Amino acid sequence: MSDVILANATLVLPDEVMRGTLQIVDGLIVAIDPGTGVSRGAVDCAGDLVLPGLIELHTDNLERHIEPRPKVQFPAAGAILAHDGELAATGITTVFDALRVGSIVSKDKAKYSEYARFVADEIIALRLDGALRINHLLHLRAEVCSETLIEELAKFGPGDGIGIVSLMDHTPGQRQFRDLAQLRNYVRGKHGLSEEEFLAHVAHQQALSQKVGVVHEAAAVAAAKGYGAVLASHDDTTGDQVAVSSRHGIRFAEFPTTVEAAQACRDHGIHVMMGAPNLIRGGSHSGNVAAHDLAGRDLLDILSSDYVPSALLNGALMLGDFWGSMARGVATVTAAPADATGLADRGRLAPGLRGDVIRVARKKSATVRGVWVGGVRVG
């Protein structure tokens, strides 16, 4: 492993932005010095931004590669490698790959099958083979309103290194899908249901939630504890829902749908995560609260790329401009997600931390010019 010296760079440090040089030795940051000088063997960054590698907590991107078209399955290893390369190219150096656990197997059309254990095995095997460019950790999305959640959770254990378990509840008529018109557009478009089939789907899911919702939620909370994973909530809408999240020990809230829920999270000491696509597009595609509204109320802590990997970097830079602090904006995709998941060895440019670093040119748009993971250039 060779040393890396990034000189004449605009370094985004935890509390300030400074022109200077960063040095990585044996995979760790060892020195940060002010100045514009460029020593022999150093990379002249010519004023480009140098940031900590981005940390992604929740992304649907892997699922998109596994099923690139409706009902078309792509081999898992190839999909994982394509996903890995795409994230590296956008400056993400640590990702918690989100895998759904809990399936619907009894329906003819609106069903979805188990896949998490198999894909997790493929990720672990590729990691052990050294085939992945960036750091891949596991995030289990526990679908409470499902038929097989407990059985699928039982296939994982502490040895799998599960970092996050999120409590997902997509019961029609509440949380993300409290507006059935939004759900109708999504489900009918994805599964090709008639109106009658859609209404039958809604009735089936609501009855299922009544039958197993409480038991499944408790099982997911217990599983997270057994794995040693951080707990996250998903689509909290009301203060009462956030209070339940707090009692479960939720560390961060993924995509609260209302200002009320985001404020309740802040009151309970729960980090608020919003989608970068929501921020960049100017609003939620599901009709929920806009990320920029929460940013303006000081109720936004973490960004996720959600379904567009390149949105993570651009969203952080937008927040830096909006708040008048690039260090604060960048922290939403580096230090804050690291803190929320207990990753004390990364997320900041500081001596002793991992050499996960990216170089970014910012002109009309942000362009990633270099990516180093543990001091090794991967992009």
Statement to judge: residues 117 and 144 lie in one domain = yes
Q: Does 312 lie in the same domain as 350? A: no
Q: What does the pLDDT average to over 154-176? A: 87
Least confident range from 22-31, 149-158, 207-216: namely 207-216
CB burial string 203-216: b at 16+ within 10 A, e below: ebbbebbeebbeeb
Asked if residue 353 and residue 334 are part of one domain, the reply reads: no
CATH number of the domain within which 183 lies: 3.20.20.140
Whether residue 80 is found in the same domain as residue 151 = yes
Residues 366 and 279 occupy one common structural domain: no
> Looking at residues 189-198, what average pLDDT do you find?
69
Q: What was the pLDDT predicted at 193?
A: 67
Q: pLDDT above 70 covers what percent of the chain?
A: 91
Tens-place pLDDT, residues 75-111:
999 999 999 999 999 999 999 999 999 987 776 555 6
Residues 211 and 188 in one domain: yes
The string of pLDDT tens digits covering residues 342-356 is: 999 999 999 999 999
Q: Do 184 and 200 reside in the same domain of the chain?
A: yes
| pLDDT(230) > 90 | yes
pLDDT(369) > 70: yes
16: domain range?
1-52+346-379
Residue 52 has pLDDT above 70, yes or no: yes
Q: What is the pLDDT of residue 278?
A: 96
Least confident of 21-35, 61-75, 80-94, 347-361: 61-75
- Looking at residue 118, its pLDDT comes to 96
Mean confidence (pLDDT) of the chain: 92
pLDDT band at 272 (very low <50, low <70, confident <90, very high): very high
Q: What is the CATH number of the domain that holds 29?
A: 2.30.40.10
Q: What is the mean pLDDT of residues 208-228?
A: 91
Q: Are both 333 and 374 inside the same structural domain?
A: no
Quick one: 282 and 313 in the same domain? Answer: yes
pLDDT of residue 93: 98
Res 109: pLDDT: 53
- pLDDT of 105 reads 73
Residues 365 and 307 in one domain: no
375 and 274 in a common domain: no
Give the pLDDT confidence score for residue 185 in this predicted structure: 65
Number of domains in the chain: 2
Q: What is the mean pLDDT of residues 48-61?
A: 97
Q: Are residues 211 and 151 in the same domain?
A: yes
